[in-house]
Amino acid sequence: MPQPTFERPSPQAPLVVFLAVTADTLVAADFRPRTRRRPPGPYRRLLATPGARAFTLGNLMARLPMGMFSVSAVVMIAGTRGSYALAGAVTATGLAATALVAPWTARLVDRHGQARVAVPATLIAALGSLALLLCVRYGAPAWTLFAAYAATATTPNTGGMARARWNHLLKGDADALHTANSFEQAADELCFMLGPVLAAFLCTALFPQAGTLVGVVLLVSGMLLFTAQRSTEPPAARPRPTAKAPLRAPGIPPLLVVCLAMGGVFGAMEVVTIAFADTQGHRAAAGVVLALQAAGSCAAGLLYGATKPAGPAEHRLPWCVAAMTALLTLPLLAASLTGSLPLLALTLLIAGMATAPTMVTTMTLVQHRTPEGRLNEGMTLAVTGLLGGIACGSAAGGWAVEHTSAAAAYGIPVTAAAAALLLTLLPPRRARAAG
């Protein structure tokens, strides 16, 4: 019986088999590595919405001066009149006038359309800023400064109009709308982070009126570009006779009180941080320290928008405010225990990370509870609540600095955040029953 013979395989045989199998697999799979792309992220999908990039660019240009005007006014008035008290009084008057006029401007925007109302309202505000500039430049009486700056109260709520456009374009897509709200909150933080720095640079490097002048140019140019995008503008809608005003809509008043308390956090934090930096002999660094807080909020807002939050916004808001309250204790501890400005800056960066998620959730609730056709008015009311809280927080923070110390005054933002937390916990059942 013949014995079987075994031929020693050549060294190339395994390679040939591997290549053959691999080639067969490639042909069968027919995948194309050079044409396959990663799926776009949530922000790329958001900005791929037709017309979104154009109105976003215009809105950012118009929104940046919101962080410039008050700093520019203070530097311009104090530098020429030698009085920070006068500068503070003028800007406070403008803030109060804005709180009164802004909801009416927003109501007109909802009823008659963004382009028809926002452009003339912006031009009136621009004329007010230019009048202030001229009054300061040519030594006009002090009362003219108050009158001129009060005229800037007609400035439309650019952030609210952008959110209204997203709500119109993304209606029915809750996840995309969450991303849009987060994007707009991050844009707010970015503008309030860069605006004061740009204003201070222009006023000191060029001439005292430069910050106001550049702010007017950006505001008017941005608003014209924004309102020119008519394809994305939400249609003007007259409210139904039976529809309630946003101020009386179920669930809105408790949110406005929460906004008032959160505004107290922001107003007190700004004043107290400037005072603390001054006590350390580094007052010029206060702007950078506050910018770090805005940077933390901006980064957290973008991250928050890229995720899909669990549960309804009503349930998320108390958790967001609780996180903000807890993180705000870090600057208090850093200032009280160490007195280190660099450590304080680090804790403000961390504390700022809770701001954007809280504001995004709050604005989402405002959108849900505002009657149809009056969205811009509802969101402007929320901003008005924030402005009122900022004014109260600034006053409370200044009082605490004068009567205690700058380090101890960091307890004011913590107290305001704790009050906001209590407000979110007390009325939820009532708000749900009404809504």
pLDDT band at 246 (very low <50, low <70, confident <90, very high): low
Q: Give the phi and the psi of residue 8 in degrees, each rounded to 5.
A: -65, 120
In angstroms, rounded to a whole number, what is the distance separating the alpha carbons of residues 159 and 433? 30
Measured CA angle at 411 (ends 408, 416), to 5 deg: 155
**What pLDDT, on the 0 to 100 scale, is given for residue 362?**
85
Which residue pairs, CB below 8 angstroms and at least 24 apart, start in 291-295?
Answer: 291/193, 291/194, 291/196, 291/197, 292/345, 292/346, 292/348, 292/349, 292/352, 293/269, 293/348, 293/349, 293/351, 293/352, 293/355, 294/189, 294/190, 294/192, 294/193, 294/352, 295/189, 295/193, 295/349, 295/352
What is the amino acid identity at position 196?
Answer: P
1-10, 181-190, 347-356: range with highest mean pLDDT: 347-356
**What pLDDT, on the 0 to 100 scale, is given for residue 177?**
78
In angstroms, rounded to a whole number, what is the distance separating the alpha carbons of residues 343 and 335? 8
Measured CA angle at 246 (ends 323, 238), to 5 deg: 140
Domain at 41-180+192-236: CATH code? 1.20.1250
Closest C-alpha to 373, from 234, 166, 181: 234
**What pLDDT, on the 0 to 100 scale, is given for residue 219?**
92
Helix (H/G/I), strand (E/B), else coil: 171: coil
In angstroms, rounded to a whole number, what is the distance separating the alpha carbons of residues 265 and 397? 9
**What pLDDT, on the 0 to 100 scale, is given for residue 32?**
45
pLDDT cut 90: percent of the chain above it: 9
Domain at 250-435: CATH code? 1.20.1250.20
Helix pair angle (174-205, 286-306), 10° resolution: 160
pTM, two decimal places: 0.70
Spell out the domain ranges in the chain: 41-180+192-236, 250-435
Closest C-alpha to 187, from 95, 301, 267, 287: 301
In angstroms, rounded to a whole number, what is the distance separating the alpha carbons of residues 350 and 330? 8
Mean pLDDT of 251-257: 82
pLDDT over 90 at 325, yes or no: yes
**What pLDDT, on the 0 to 100 scale, is given for residue 67?**
76
Closest C-alpha to 421, from 297, 264, 286: 264
Residue in the structure block whose two tokens are 């949110």:
255
Reported as a single tens digit per residue, the pLDDT across 28-66 is 444 444 445 655 677 777 777 787 888 888 888 888 888
pLDDT over 50 at 22, yes or no: no
Two domains, one topology: 41-180+192-236 and 250-435: yes
**What pLDDT, on the 0 to 100 scale, is given for residue 247?**
65
Reported as a single tens digit per residue, the pLDDT across 121-136 is 999 999 998 998 898 8
In angstroms, rounded to a whole number, what is the distance separating the alpha carbons of residues 79 and 75? 6
Higher pLDDT, 335 or 309: 335
In angstroms, rounded to a whole number, what is the distance separating the alpha carbons of residues 81 and 253? 41
Mean pLDDT of 302-308: 76
Distinct helix (H) and strand (E) counts, the chain = 18, 0
**What pLDDT, on the 0 to 100 scale, is given for residue 218?**
92
| 263 burial via Cβ count (<10 Å: 0-12, 13-18, 19+) | buried
What is the amino acid identity at position 26?
Answer: L
The contacts of residue 10 (CB under 8 Å, 6+ apart) are: none
pLDDT band at 373 (very low <50, low <70, confident <90, very high): low
pLDDT over 90 at 326, yes or no: yes
In angstroms, rounded to a whole number, what is the distance separating the alpha carbons of residues 382 and 174? 21
In angstroms, rounded to a whole number, what is the distance separating the alpha carbons of residues 389 and 117? 27
pLDDT over 60 at 392, yes or no: yes
Contact present, 419 and 396 (Cβ < 8 Å):
no
Q: What is the mean pLDDT of the chain?
A: 77
User: Within a 10 A sphere around the Cβ of 17, how many other Cβ atoms?
Assistant: 11
The contacts of residue 434 (CB under 8 Å, 6+ apart) are: 250, 251
Reported as a single tens digit per residue, the pLDDT across 346-371 is 999 898 888 888 888 888 888 777 77
Contact present, 367 and 375 (Cβ < 8 Å):
yes
Residue 31 region, left (φ>0) first, then alpha (ψ -120 to 50), else beta? Answer: beta
User: Within a 10 A sphere around the Cβ of 338, how many other Cβ atoms?
Assistant: 13
Mean pLDDT of 314-328: 88
Reported as a single tens digit per residue, the pLDDT across 187-220 is 877 787 777 778 777 877 788 788 889 999 999 9
Contact present, 372 and 237 (Cβ < 8 Å):
yes
